[in-house]
Structure 1
């Protein structure tokens, strides 16, 4: 069970549980259960909550260590999320208080990062570590294989597609953090 900062962020913004739930289009019971650590919300729900609280998605996760000049995130200690369709998983390899967000992603064979292309206010660079990846940006497909990278303006509708029969491992750098 993940630990979330939703209560802290909600209170800082002077919102009640009911106000957050209404704005995020979820039940008050769900917000209450998440804040008390009784349930883990879906990635779609976390995205809605992050949007209402005006923070990047991963800012909802409790930081693994206090802010300092140097932060080490050990393998297995990072925050992780899975896409709503279960095709993609992401591990945050950067600190929550930085200006660059780095994610290690895995996309199953035949999987997509999002059912439909989406956009957010940022810039991204995707690097394929293992496998192949189709990066769809604004309706144009870009094929990447081991070691290839693709940079784009995230305000353009985009998504990642693994149309191969092997899992794909990739890194994504996003600035400012907005995933």
Structure 2
């Protein structure tokens, strides 16, 4: 189980557990368990909590160390996934950096979210293996191994895997918002 910084951000905003739970649409028990590191919530739950707290998703797992050089070992990366692990992200960059780099994997037939989402950032996605369909506004792009796609994240977007194998990709986001 991962201990998060939810309590820290909640307290900075003067919010009670009940207020955060109500605004995020989850139970107070879940917030309490997550704050104590007893359970790991789903990706969607963490997104809602981050939105209520008005912080980038992965800042909830931030180390808090200001370093000019950071080495993040593969096995030490923060990881978050959807309830059925259809999509998984690991953070390859340090918490608190001005640029966030994530490695993602998306299972066959899965989507990154039920609906298109936007956030105040810019993204560049590089497909490491497989094929990734990227929906940005009313445009759809098929990105193959080695291809990349840059877009303004203010435009609602999501990722789909319409293939038969897991797709792996890297995402660079600035400023961090995941």
TM-score band, normalised by shorter chain: over 0.9
Contact 1:58 1:96 (8 Å CA) reproduced: yes
Give the TM-score, by structure 1 length.
Answer: 0.93
Equivalence map 1:15-164=2 (5 Å): 15-63=15-63, 66-84=65-83, 86-164=85-163
Shift of 1:139: 2.0
Question: How many angstroms does 1:86 deviate by?
Answer: 3.0
Query: Separation in 1 of the partners of 2:169 and 2:122?
Result: 16
| Alpha-carbon distance in 2 for matches of 1:44, 1:162 | 18
Structure 1 portions without partners, runs of 5+: none
3-state SS in 2 of match to 1:177: coil
**What is the CA-CA distance between 1:137 and the residue it aligns to?**
0.8
Check whether the contact 1:3–1:62 (CA below 8 A) recurs between aligned residues: no
How much has 1:98 moved relative to structure 2? 0.7
Report the alpha carbon displacement of residue 85 of structure 1 after superposing the two structures with TM: 5.2
The question of 1:166 aligning with 2:160 is answered no
After superposition, what is the alpha-carbon deviation per residue over 1:141-161, rounded to whole angstroms, capped at 9, x for unaligned?
111111100000111111111
| Equivalences, count | 178
Runs of 4 or more above 4 Å deviation: none
Root-mean-square deviation (Å): 1.4
In structure 2, how many angstroms separate the alpha carbons of the residues matched to 1:39 and 1:120? 27
Q: In structure 1, what is the Cα distance between the partners aligned to 2:27 and 2:109?
A: 33
2:23 match: secondary structure: helix
Distance 1:122 1:84, change over 3 A: farther
Contact 1:80-1:89 at 8 Å conserved across structures: yes
